[in-house]
Each structure stands twice: as structure tokens, then as C-alpha cells.
Amino acid sequence: MTLYRLDASIRVAGSASGELASIVEQEWLAAHPGDTVVRRHLGTDPIPADAWPLALAASQTPEADRTPEQRQAVALAATLVDELLAADAIVLAVPLYNFGVSQHIKAWIDLVVTDPRSAPGGAPLLAGKPVVLVTVRGGAYGPGTPREGWDHSTAYLAHFLGTVWGADLTAVEREFTLVGVNPALDEFTDLAASMHTDALDAARRAGRALAATASPGHGQGEPAPAGASV
Ligand SMILES: Cc1cc2nc3c(=O)[nH]c(=O)nc-3n(C[C@H](O)[C@H](O)[C@H](O)COP(=O)(O)O)c2cc1C
């Protein structure tokens, strides 16, 4: 079986989203030793910004008249969709940047959507596929906080993965990752530590559930594993 891991942090060392995705990955490998993990790191290997308009232009251009750049963009979109379809389970690690969706993950979604296999009206691209969405935020956005409602990334991603693409989605979230980095947040040190511990636990649970849900025998009578489905 294959686990597909997609990272969107702009850093590799010290990535909080990467830490949680690695735990999900470890739990997967503990249950599926020797399985393949296919990785794509959008932070270090971004989708070219012009791939999306090129793929869209290609879709309105007869095959024989397409430019080499258009063909390359169409091929990249196909590769991304191939990766998703070949996966038995998926984990995405996506930070909050500037209160919105990471441009790297948005460029990836936009390009995937250009492939005919994700066209509206067809089967949802990830129908029933178990997916863990790891999201991390430097600040905190819970009910009653000064910035409640300022996270314009998480709901969008959950909507796209779960509602548009039909994934069986579980969210693992961590907030206050900038505590210890930004001195203005020092008063939240204990709360941030507790949030970190909770997120590590949630990642372990989500990884185990992902591995169980994607197992070949799953769905043949045994109860579904508990997860924080969104
Ligand atoms: C350019 C930039 C913009 C950011 N914008 C936000 C933001 O709007 N809200 C927030 O809570 N954290 C913000 N952060 C903090 C990140 O969400 C936080 O550092 C997170 O841990 C990054 O993910 P990573 O640890 O996986 O790299 C920002 C970080 C960077 C580098």
C-alpha cells in the first residue's frame, strides 16, 4: 500500500507541521512495515506559478497546437493527479501563512483541478479515501480570542478535501507554534506546551486510524477507528 505525504511548509528544519506529519507517517509504517511513502514537498519544490494558466490555456487549445510549455503544464497536472489516485492514504502538512491558504498549496490545488479526472460532474477525486490534514498556526484563533475568525485557510482546505474531493478527512491542528519564538507571546508558554502535547497525541491517533482505515481488510465487519473527522 502507498501513503502519499504532501508538505507545504516553506522550511524543512524545525517545521511544526512536518513534525506532526512525520508522526502520522511513523504510525502508518508501524502498521504497514515496508510500505511505500511517496513524498512531495511543495515548500522546497513549488509548483511553477505559470503552470496553472498554461494548463488552462492548453485545455482550450487543440492538442496538435499546444506549446511545449502548455504540454509540460498538462503533464505536471496529470502527475499530481496520478499521485493522488495511486495513494491508499494521504497526509498533508499545511501551515497558516498571512491568515490565508499557503500559496504553494493553492497552486497545487489549482493545477490538480485542471486535470480532466477532477472535472466537476465526475466522481470526486478522493472519494472515500482516508486523508489526514495537519494544520499549524503561529497564533491562536479559538472562540473568544482576539483573532477568532482570522484563519482563512483551515476551513477552505477542509472544504476542498472533504466536500469537493470527497475525502474521508481527519484534522490534526496545533496552535501557538510561535510561542518561544515571538517574545510577545511568552505569557502563553504553558498553554502552548499543552497544545503541543495534545497535537502530538492527535497525530498518533490519526496515524493509527489512517493505517487501520486503509488496511485491505477494513470495512469487512470491524468497527471504524475513532478519529476527529471534520
Ligand atoms: C511568512 C509567514 C507568515 C505567517 N503568517 C501567519 C499568520 O497569519 N497567522 C499565524 O498564526 N501564523 C503565521 N505564521 C506562523 C506559522 O504559521 C508558524 O510559524 C507555523 O509553525 C509554520 O509552519 P511550520 O512550522 O510547519 O514551518 C507565519 C509564518 C510565516 C513564515
Which DSSP string do the residues of 15-56 spell out, in sequence order? Answer: -HHHHHHHHHHHHHHHHSTT-EEEEEETTTSPPPTTHHHHHH
pLDDT of residue 122: 83
Point out the ligand 1 atom lying closest to the alpha carbon of residue 178.
Answer: 19
pLDDT higher for 214 or 137?
137
- Residues above pLDDT 90, as percent of the chain: 90
User: What number of other Cβ atoms are within 10 A of residue 26's Cβ?
Assistant: 13
Where residue 230 falls among pLDDT bands split at 50, 70, 90?
very low
Centre of ligand 1 to C-alpha 138, Å, is: 5
Mean pLDDT, rounded, of the chain: 93
Q: Name the pTM for this structure.
A: 0.93
**pLDDT, average across residues 86-115:** 98
Q: Which residues, judged by CB distance below 6 Å to any ligand atom, belong to the binding site of ligand 1?
A: 9, 11, 15-18, 95-99, 136-139, 177-178
Where residue 158 falls among pLDDT bands split at 50, 70, 90?
very high
Cα 22 to chain centroid distance, Å, stands at: 13
Q: Does the pLDDT at position 219 exceed 90?
A: no
